[in-house]
Every structure is written in structure tokens, then in C-alpha cells.
Amino acid sequence: MSRIRWYGPTVILILTILIVMVMGPSIVQKIAWAQESAKVQFVRDQAAADPALAKLSDAFRNVAKIVEPSVVAIQVSAKASPRRITEDDAMRRFFGPRGWPQSPFDLPQDDGEDQSPQQEPGTQDYNRYNVPRAYANGSGWVYDEAGHIITNRHVVNGADVITVRFNDGSERTAKLVGEDDKTDIAVIKVDGARLIPAQLAKEPVEQGDIVFAFGSPFRFEFSMSQGIVSAKGRQLHIVADGRGYENFIQTDAAINPGNSGGPLTNIQGDVVGMNTAIASRTGANNGLGFAIPIEMVAPVVDQIIKTGKVTRGYLGIYIDDLDPKMAESFGFKDHGVLVNSLIDGGPAEKAGIKSGDIITKIDGKDVRAAEELRRRVSNYEPGRKVDIELFRAGKTQRMQAVVAELPASVQRASTDSADRGGEAKPSDKVMDYLRRAGIENVTDFTAELAQRRKVELTPGVLVTQVRPGSDAADKGIRPGSVIVEVMDTRIKTVDELTTALTSLDMSKPVRLSVSEGGVKRFVLLEVPQ
């Protein structure tokens, strides 16, 4: 009996331990599941009862209801092969291929060759009898009740037929009213009534604002994406081959091919910009979308509607941003824009502005960047008088200029390679300095060399060879550049260049004035010792 009394509790204990070992994990899991389930239900009940979340969702829905009746899908067609329609390289590299397949899941079969027959000179162009073929798509939005629709120039450029599809499924053919290559903005127009215009925002967006991008990405028409304003004032140097006017809004709202021309709106459904570009290695959204701000779109559109073209103000100056080191070389320590050179007979030259001046204010407002000054002057009407404050030779000066109309074309700098030649050589010390900077060879720029290169003679020292990867190459000096000043000393020959450099401490940055095609700019050489 004693053995039974001794082993009985032990057996019970062992059985209990075995039961706990077998059943315990399951019980623990059930308890944990019950606790997690209760927690999820509690949070779900809280979310369902949270008026802020419901209001946010309602606000997003309302934006869609407000904006979508004004959004259009645009299809462009051409009678000639789409590959014959030209576009500048910068836009093509940024946007990728213009044409997209009829279905987003069908890949185009492209052998890279233009199948259109070559047109013989002087013969009739029979392409005009071809059936228009769709080759690209984009987006747009209704600007007014008269039927004007806004989109990007790169969407409709080169089209023979522009077809606009509205959110209700109806289609209309549009005609081109006008386009502006310097901002990538175009205005098209459809006939008929009952259009619902989008409303323009009264205030610019700010970094962090919630925004919505509308359009037809990859032909998925009337899509909507949401994000924030990531940044403002971006310059991409893609419009008009880098010579356009840019002030992009950056957003992480999804923008893809086909979104171009669609509206970017705020949380109230007001248009704050026009979707224009993406930065992507794949051609699809990577969180870097760009839109033209509405305060830049509206003045251009209004001019196109009124006159069919865009007129811009012009001072006739070549300008550059002013970094602290360059400013120090002029004895200047504040913000401003550096005047590199002037157009002969232009408004700035008539007003007394000179190369090397630093413009600090225009009409009483500070100027901090060259692109900012370009945009502000371009918005002035020709004939307007503007007050300019500038820094020259250690003093602040004020003068007045009369804005002229920007001509269709402005002289650009020549990039032709220069002839090597000439007998004049810098001293060994100066030549060593120039070579460390990357300028391998220089010569007097003579009338004979100018005639040979078919350019106007600019007395100075001609750069004939530049080492790739050097400081000079990095600063844009190239064969054909003509050095005309060293710091504030005018030079015309290699001997004068030698004298000017020898008088300086060449271990410190040296400012050169360089002429290219008659257009001067300043370069600050910083030679490693």
C-alpha cells in the first residue's frame, strides 16, 4: 500500500506535466489569438468611429468628383510615320518614347527603321493622303467654357489630328490654338457647349501640401493619384533644349507616361499645376514627378488665347548664378546675379549696365538666382520701365531700363573647335599654371584665325586645347574660348595674359572673362597646388 501512496501523486504530477506540454502551446496560442483579435476589433471600432478618417476619405472622394468632369484624355494621330515627327533630345531622354502601345500589355514591335518612303526633292508629298495613325496619348483639362483645353506642347506637337475624350465617354476633335516651346504649354480647342472648366488655385502650393495628379497613365484613362509637394522651384533644363523657362513643382504623386498635360490639384480640387515630366530610369514613376505651377501656366495660356502667341520681356543680358567664391573675387558678399555679357544695342546696354555688374534687385525686389531673374523679366510687357539695383566696383548703383520684346532668336555661343597656331607662348611659370588648370595650349586670336573660323574677331587669347576632366573643362572652357580679361585687367595677347597672371597670387582662385561666339561669361579657375 505504501508504494501505491508513494507513486500515486508522482504519476498524477507526470501526467499533468505531459498534458501541459502537449496542450499548453495550443492553449497559449488560443489566448494570444483571442487577445490580438480583440485588439484588432477595438482598433477597427475606433477607426470606424473616428470622424477625422471619414472626413479625409470624403475629402479625397470630393476632389475626384470636382476635378474629373474637367479632365480629358488626348490621343494624337499623324499621317506620316511618328518617327518623322521631331522632338528635341533633352525632352526625349527625359520622357522616354513618345508613342505607347494601344494596350498597356502589348509591346510595340519596332525595328528602329522609318517605313515611310523617302520624299524626292521637288515632288508632291503623298503622305498627306495617308490615314492618320494614332502614335501617342496624353492628358489635358478644360480651361474655360469656350472650349479651350490645356495640355503640354510635347503631347500635341506634330499631330495632324487631335482627339479629345471626356469623362462621360464623349469624343470631340480639337484644333491647335497655339503653343509655347519655351514652357512646353499648348492650348487646343473643341467646339460645343456644356463643358465644365477646372478652377485655378488662388495661392501657390507649399512644400508638404497634399496634391492629386489626374490623367491617363499608360492609357488607363481618368486615373487619380495622391501625394505631397516634395519641393518647389526645380530646374531640369529639359524644356527647349535647356533654353526654356522652368520652375517645376516636384511631387511624389504617381505621374507616368500619359499623365502629361493633366492637372495637379490641391485638396480643394483647385488646379495648382500641370503634370509634365518624371525622373525615371525605367520610364515609369519612381516618386519624382514634376508639374508646371499654375501661376506660370495661366499667363502663357491667356496670351495664347488672346493673340495666338506669347510675348516676353527682354533686357539683352547673359547672366549666371553667383556663388560665394565668385562673389568674393568681385569684393561682394551678398546675394545677386552676375552679368556675364550684353547684347549690343539691347535694353541693358542702353541703360548703362556693364559686364561684371552684379544685379541685386529689380523693381525693389531681391534677386537671388539667374533663372528667377529670367522669369521675372520675361513676364514684363515690352516698353515697361524697370528699376535695377546693382553692385559695381565696390558701390551700389541704381539705374532704369526699358524692357524690350524678346526676339525669336538670340545669338548663341559658338562651340566650333579652334585652329592651333600662333608663335606667342606664355612663360614657363604661366604655362605650368594653365596646364594644371587644364588649358593645354593658347595663342593670340588674330584676324586671320577669326576669318578662318568665320566668326567675328574678339581680341584676346584663344584657347586651342583643353584637357578633359580638368578644372577648366569642368568650368566650361573649351577649344574656341577666348580669354579677354584676367580679374579686372583687359588682355588682348598672350604676352598680356602672362603679365596679368604673373602679377597675381596664382595659388588663389583667378577670375577670367571668357568670350564664346561674342558672348562673355566669367569663370573662376581654382588650380590645385
Residues tagged active-site: 154, 184, 260
Q: How far does Cα 74 stand from its chain's mean position? A: 23
- 3 state SS for 441-482: EEEECCHHHHHHHCCCCCCCEEEEEECCCCHHHHCCCCCCCE
d(CA 170, CA 97): 28
Would you say how long the chain is, in residues?
A: 529
d(CA 242, CA 423): 39
Choose among 464, 450, 470: nearest CA to 517: 450
User: Is 401:351 a contact under the CB 8 Å cutoff?
Assistant: yes
Looking up cell 611659370, which residue turns up?
429
d(CA 149, CA 147): 6
Looking up cell 467654357, which residue turns up?
145
- In 3-state terms, what secondary structure has residue 483? strand
Sorted by sequence, the CB contacts under 8 Å of residue 213 that are 6+ apart come out as 224, 225, 226, 227, 251, 253, 254, 255, 259, 262, 263, 264, 275, 289, 291
- Name the residue type at position 107: L
Choose among 277, 244, 247: nearest CA to 260: 277
User: Is 175:188 a contact under the CB 8 Å cutoff?
Assistant: yes
- In 3-state terms, what secondary structure has residue 424? coil
d(CA 189, CA 144): 10
User: Is 251:225 a contact under the CB 8 Å cutoff?
Assistant: no
Choose among 414, 477, 417, 482: nearest CA to 446: 482
Q: How far does Cα 464 stand from its chain's mean position? A: 33
Backbone angles phi, psi at 497, to 5 degrees: -65, -45
User: Is 408:514 a contact under the CB 8 Å cutoff?
Assistant: no
Cell of 349: 546696354
d(CA 522, CA 338): 8
Which residue pairs, CB below 8 angstroms and at least 24 apart, start in 90-95?
Answer: 90/237, 90/238, 90/239, 90/241, 90/242, 91/154, 91/184, 91/238, 91/239, 93/238, 94/236, 94/238, 94/277, 94/278, 94/279, 95/154, 95/257, 95/260, 95/277, 95/278
